[in-house]
Structure formats: C-alpha cells, structure tokens
C-alpha cells in the first residue's frame, strides 16, 4: 500500500476526519537519519501527525511545523509539512537507546521526557502563529489531543503509531485525527466516544491490511461518512546548495573567516534529510565577499 491520506466528513458535517498510512516515508526518514528504534517511533509519529495537520492549511505556500522539546535523552523532534502531502523532519538525538516500557513497547514517552509541544503555522504573514502546550504524556497522540482541546478549542481524537520489524524496518505506520465541529449534538459525541474507546491500535489495524479509508469506515461508517479528498504522501526536503550557502553567510563574517583560515573544504549537512553539501575554500571566500558587500 503506497503512502496516502484521506479526508472525510461525517454526521452531517459535525465531524471532520483524516487518516493516513506513512510506512514508506517513515522508512526513508529512518534511513536518512540512521535512527534507533525509539527515535524511529517518535519521528514516525511526528511525521504522520504533521502531514495530516499540514493538509489542513489553506494556502499553497503555507507550512506547518510540529515541534516537541523534552528533557529526555531524545531531546526533541521537529516535523514540517505543507498542504501537498510533503513532510520532512528529524530527531535531535537519532541514536538514543533506552529500555522498553513496562508493556514491552518502545518507550517514546521516556525518550522525550517532560517538555513542551509547539505548533507553528506559517501562512506568509509577518509573524507565524505559534500554539504551545506542556506535554501531557510524551506519547505525542495524547499531547496533540490536549493541544487541540486547549489551544484551538477543537475536541479531537488523535491516533498515531509506528510498528517495527525485528530488523528495524517499518512494518506499519500511520494515524488518524477526528475532530468535532461547533454545535455537534451530544448523541453524536457519545456515539463517537464509544467507537474510539473500542478501537485497536492504529498499527494493529494497518498490519491487518486496513487502509486509511477502512479505518475511517470502521470508526464513522454508520455516521454518514463522506470522503472528500485523497492525497499522496512523501518525505521530501527542499534543501539545496543555494539555501545552505545563505545559511552559512548568515553565521557572520568572523565565522566565515575562521573557516577560510582552516584552508580546507567544509561539509554541511541538512538537518532535515542529512544530505551533505561540500564548500571549497574559494566558495567560502566568495561567500565572505557577499557578506561584506551587504
């Protein structure tokens, strides 16, 4: 099954829903960053959440960034997505190793620790919108549910999951976001809560062959479910040498001079995809000229 997501409405528009399968893009991210199992689980959940949230943005160039920062050994995770199904991201400490939790599962909460979740929406205005909440659990799905309830006053249910094979390849990855619109009748809310409470984990449903469409049918199939859009998903970074050059120029003349004085080429890696760019001494000298001529 290729990576894709679906959008839908139900209960006469009182519910909006999103579901995604992200196995391939999480596999690519894992390979790019050489992540440990627990870092893969955290990054995969964040990429899945961000790509669904990014699809909610209206403008062609709008960007959504989901960031978690904690005091655990992972440090944090960042994921950025647009509304075209493209997402990128990275963990702060990709090689972190910690014991499994009491249930024998990858302990994402312990890896993240106590901290903050930030949602940054860049719509081209002078300043982006930033919403921030303290982490409830570090499990990411629960923290997003809390974020939507407190920062956006939108009652939501978020499910996220990444399941690894024994060789650390991705067996299943995906998630859903289900949201209640203002004025939703109590009987609809009660029915939805009953459905959500009886759900199997996302990765169980995906591993059993269920598609994103199937997951939403399972939850909302008897509530006038209507699919509105399907979107292909991919892990895609927009880095290039020109962007990295601009970043290097921004570090300042003093730092550029120090690099030049070393007399060796430098290698700069993109945080988001780990691609390496080499700059020779003469290129650094050209950058210094650009910096001093500003």
Q: What is the dihedral of CA 121, 129, 142, 31, to 10 degrees?
A: 30
Domains of the chain, start order: 4-235 (3.55.30.10), 241-292 (3.90.1280.10)
| pLDDT score, position 288 | 83
Q: What's the pLDDT tens digit per position in 183-221?
A: 999 999 999 999 999 999 999 999 999 999 999 999 999
131 pairs with which residues across the strands? Answer: 119
Q: Tell me what the mean pLDDT of segment 135-147 comes to.
A: 95
Q: What's the pLDDT tens digit per position in 1-33?
A: 899 999 999 999 999 999 999 999 999 999 999
Q: Where are the alpha helices (DSSP H) in the chain?
A: 23-33, 37-54, 108-112, 141-151, 186-197, 202-207, 212-220, 241-250, 253-262, 281-292
| pLDDT score, position 285 | 87
Q: What's the rounded Cα separation, in Å, for the pair 232 and 212?
A: 12
- The torsion region of residue 76 among left (phi > 0), alpha (psi -120 to 50) and beta comes to left
pLDDT band at 252 (very low <50, low <70, confident <90, very high): confident
* Strands 234-235, 86-91: pairing kind: parallel
For 204-264, the DSSP string reads: HHHHTT--HHHHHHHHHTTTT-EEEEEEE-EE-----HHHHHHHHHHT-HHHHHHHHHHTS
- pTM as predicted: 0.91
Laid out side by side, the sheet with 226-232 consists of 156-164, 170-180, 15-21, 4-10, 226-232
Contacts of 24 (CB under 8 A, 6+ apart): 2, 3, 170, 235
Side-chain-side CA neighbours of 199 within 13 Å: the count stands at 26
Q: What's the pLDDT tens digit per position in 88-134?
A: 999 999 999 999 888 888 999 999 999 999 999 998 888 899 999 99
**239 φ, ψ (degrees, to nearest 5):** -70, 155
Q: Return the residue matching tokens 């209507």.
A: 226
Q: What's the pLDDT tens digit per position in 272-284?
A: 998 999 999 888 8
For 78-104, the DSSP string reads: EEEE-TTSEEEEEESSTT------TTS
């Amino acid at each position: 099954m290729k990576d894709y997501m679906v959008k839908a409405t139900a209960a006469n528009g009182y519910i909006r829903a999103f579901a995604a399968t992200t196995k391939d893009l999480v596999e690519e991210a894992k390979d790019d960053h050489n992540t440990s199992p627990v870092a893969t689980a955290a990054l995969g959940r964040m990429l899945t959440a961000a790509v669904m949230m990014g699809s909610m943005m209206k403008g062609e160039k709008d960007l959504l960034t989901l960031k978690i920062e904690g005091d655990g050994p992972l440090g944090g995770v960042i994921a950025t997505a647009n509304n075209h199904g493209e997402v990128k991201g990275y963990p702060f400490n990709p090689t972190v190793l910690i014991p499994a939790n009491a249930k024998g599962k990858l302990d994402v909460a312990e890896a993240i620790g106590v901290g903050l979740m930030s949602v940054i929406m860049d719509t081209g205005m002078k300043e982006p919108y930033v919403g921030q909440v303290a982490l409830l659990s570090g499990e990411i799905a629960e923290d997003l549910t809390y974020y939507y309830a407190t920062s956006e006053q939108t009652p939501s249910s978020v499910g996220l999951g990444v399941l690894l094979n024994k060789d650390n390849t991705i067996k299943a990855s995906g998630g859903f976001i289900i949201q209640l619109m203002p004025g939703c009748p109590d009987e609809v809310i009660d029915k939805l809560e009953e459905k959500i409470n009886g759900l199997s984990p996302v990765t169980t449903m995906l591993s059993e062959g269920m598609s994103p469409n199937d997951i939403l049918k399972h939850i909302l199939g008897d509530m006038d479910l209507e699919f509105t859009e399907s979107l292909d998903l991919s892990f895609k970074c927009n880095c290039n040498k020109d962007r990295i050059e601009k970043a290097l120029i921004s570090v300042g003349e003093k730092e550029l001079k120090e690099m030049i004085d070393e007399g060796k080429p430098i290698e700069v890696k993109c945080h988001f995809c780990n691609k390496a760019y080499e700059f020779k001494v003469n290129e650094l000298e050209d950058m210094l000229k650009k910096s001093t001529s500003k």
